[in-house]
Amino acid sequence: MMRLDSIVEGKKQIGIAGHVRPDGDCVGSTLAVYNYLRTYYPQADVRLYLEPIPNIFRFLHNADEIRNTYMDSVHFDLFIALDCGDTGRMGEAAKFFEEADHTLCIDHHISNQAFAEFNYIDPDASSTCELVFELIDEDRITKEIAECIYTGMVHDTGVFQYSCTSAKTMNIAGILMEKGIDYPKIVDETFYTKTYPQIRILGQALLNSRLYLDGACIVSVLTQEEMKSYGVLPKHLEGIVNQLRVTKGVQIAVFLYENIDHTFKASLRVNDAVNAAEIAVSFGGGGHIKAAGCTMEGTKESVVEQMVAAVAAQLAKGAEPKTAEPEAAEPKTAEPKDTEPKTAKPEAAEPKTAEPKDTEPKTAEPEAAEPKVTEPKGTESKTVEPEEGSKEELGKE
C-alpha cells in the first residue's frame, strides 16, 4: 500500500502544486501535504505553489506561506501534484514538475492519465483530500492537517451531499472531527457564507439563465462587464452552477463566464444521464462525470450554441455509468510506472430523449439586456471592489 512517507523519505527539496484557480479541495490537499511535511520533515526545504487562493481559505495553517510566484531557481528532488488531472492544470508550476527528479500525483479526476512517476489516483474518491488522508498515518494527522483535509472534503462533496460522497468519506470525516476541528465553522464560513457582491451576482446569473432541450439543460452566462459592475472575480463565482443544477427537470447545468481575453470558462454539473467529463474533454477541458469544466472560444452566442449541441449529443448517446465493477475500486498503487489509469467504461445506459437539433432556448424572453444594477434609494450603497491583490484574476487562469 502506498505511503507518502516512503516516497518523501530522503528527499531534501520538495515542491507541491495544485491546479490553477484553486478551489477548496486544491487548497486543502496541498496545504495538508505541506503541513505534514513541515511537521515531520523539518530538515527538508518544502515549497508550495498556488495561484492566489480565495480569502475564505486563508485561516488554514500556513496558508500565508503559499508562494504565488514561480521564479525560484531550485531543482526539486520530488514534486507533488495534487488535484490536477493533467500537467497543464498546474499552470506555471508545471515547469518545476517536469524538471523534478521524482514526481508524485495524487488525484481523483477520471480524465487523469497517471502522468507522474508515482500515481495515487482514484476517480471514486470524493476528493483529493480523501486520498491524502489515505496516504498518511491517522496518528500523524494533527488538528491543523485535519482542518485542511476536512475543508477539501466539504467543498468537493458540497458538504457531503453529492453522489461522490461514500461511506468511506463519512468515516474519514468522523475521524477528522475527533481531531478537535471546528467543523460547523469550517462548513459555514468556507462553504455557505457569501459576500454581498457574491449574493448579487448569483441573482444576476440566475436571471440570465435559459432552458434548452425541453428543459433538460440550463445555461447561464456572465460577461466581463457584469462581473466588473458587481465587483466580482472568477473565484467569487463558486457555487453558482450548483444553484442552477437544482432546477426541476434539469439534467445538466452549464455556467459560463467571460474571461478577460473574451474566452469563456464553462462549469458543468449533471444530475443524471449525462457525462460532464466527456463534454468538457471535447472542448479541451476535463473533470469528473458529474462535475467538469473547460474553456471555450467564440462569441457568447456561439459558445452557448456549441455547448448546447454537445449536451444534446450526450443526452442522445446516454450516460456512462459512474463506476466500473465494485472490485475495481482500489486506488492506483505506488509502483513507479504503474500508470494504467482507472477509466473502465461500462456499457452506455438507455439514451435519453432530447433531440440534438433542439437548441433553441425554451423561454420566450428576448436576449438579456444590460444588467441594471439599481441601488436602493436613499441609502448609502457600498461599491465593492474586487479583493486586493487579486486583480489579475479578472483574467484567464
What CA dihedral angle connects 292, 298, 302 and 305, to 10 degrees? -20
Question: Sign of the CA dihedral 66, 121, 285, 277?
Answer: negative
Q: Give the 3-state secondary structure of 171-216.
A: HHHHHHHCCCCCHHHHHHHHHHCCCHHHHHHHHHHHHHCEEEHHHC
| Binding of Mn ion by 393 (CB under 5 A) | no
Question: Half-sphere exposure of 379 toward its Cβ, with a 13 Å CA cutoff?
Answer: 6
Contacts of 283 (CB under 8 A, 6+ apart): 266, 294, 295, 296, 306, 307, 310
Looking at the Cβ atoms of 109 and 200, the one nearer to ligand 5GP is 109
- Residue 330's CB is within 10 A of a number of other CB atoms, namely 10
Residue 242 contacts residue 269 (beta carbons within 8 Å): yes
Least CB distance from residue 291 to Mn ion, whole Å? 9
How many residues make up the chain in this entry?
397
Using CB positions, name the residue nearest to ligand 5GP. 293
Cα angle 177, 238, 190 (rounded to 5 degrees) comes to 30
Query: How near is the Cβ of 85 to ligand 5GP at its closest, in Å?
Result: 5
Instruction: Select 154 or 181, whichever has its Cβ closest to Mn ion.
Output: 154
The minimum distance between CB 18 and Mn ion, in angstroms, equals 9
**Between residue 154 and residue 213, which ones bind Mn ion under the rule CB under 5 A?**
156
CA-closest candidate to residue 136, choices 212, 37, 220: 37
Min separation Cβ 353 and Mn ion, Å: 32
Name the closest residue to Mn ion (Cβ): 25
The C-alpha cell 444553484 sits at 243
Which is nearer to ligand 5GP, 61 or 269 (by Cβ)?
Answer: 269
Q: Which does 295 bind (CB under 5 to 8 A by kind): Mn ion, ligand 5GP, none?
A: ligand 5GP
Stretch that binds Mn ion, among 50-58, 150-158, 243-251, 370-378 (CB under 5 A): 150-158
Residue 293 interacting partner from Mn ion, ligand 5GP, none (CB closer than 5 to 8 Å by kind): ligand 5GP
Contacts with Mn ion, 265-294, as mask; x by CB under 5 A: ------------------------------
CB of 362 vs ligand 5GP, minimal distance in Å: 23
231 binds, among Mn ion, ligand 5GP, none (CB under 5 to 8 A by kind): none
- Please name the amino acid found at residue 58: R
- Pick the closer one to ligand 5GP by CB: 285 or 341: 285
To Mn ion, the closest distance from the beta carbon of 146 in angstroms equals: 18
CB-count exposure of residue 79 (10 Å: 0-12, 13-18, 19+):
buried
- Coil vs helix vs strand at 219: strand
Nearest distance in Å: CB 277, ligand 5GP: 8
Residue 258 contact among ligand 5GP, Mn ion, none, beta carbon within 5 to 8 Å by kind: none
- List residues binding ligand 5GP (CB under 6 A): 19, 85-86, 89, 109, 111, 267, 285-288, 291-295
The amino acid at residue 203 is G
CB 23 within 8 A of CB 88: no
Q: Which is nearer to ligand 5GP, 130 or 144 (CB)?
A: 130
Closest to ligand 5GP by CB, 179 or 194: 194
Q: Which does 291 bind (CB under 5 to 8 A by kind): Mn ion, ligand 5GP, none?
A: ligand 5GP
Q: What are phi and psi of 270, to 5 degrees?
A: -120, 150
Do the beta carbons of residue 342 and residue 324 sit within 8 Å? yes
Binding positions for Mn ion, 76-105, rule CB under 5 A: 83
**Of the two residues 272 and 355, which places its CB atom closer to ligand 5GP in the complex?**
272
The least distance separating ligand 5GP from the CB of residue 240, rounded to whole angstroms, comes to 10
Q: 363 Cβ partners below 8 Å, 6+ apart?
A: 210, 211
Question: Considering only residues 7, 8, 20, 25, which one is a binding residue for Mn ion as defined by CB under 5 A?
Answer: 25
Between β-strands 210-212 and 217-222, what pairing exists: parallel, antiparallel or unpaired? antiparallel
Distance of closest approach, residue 158 Cβ to Mn ion, in angstroms: 12
Q: Quote the least distance from Cβ 74 to Mn ion, whole Å.
A: 27
Q: Choose between 7 and 97: whose C-beta lies nearer to ligand 5GP.
A: 97
Write out the residues near Mn ion by the rule CB under 5 A.
25, 83, 128, 156
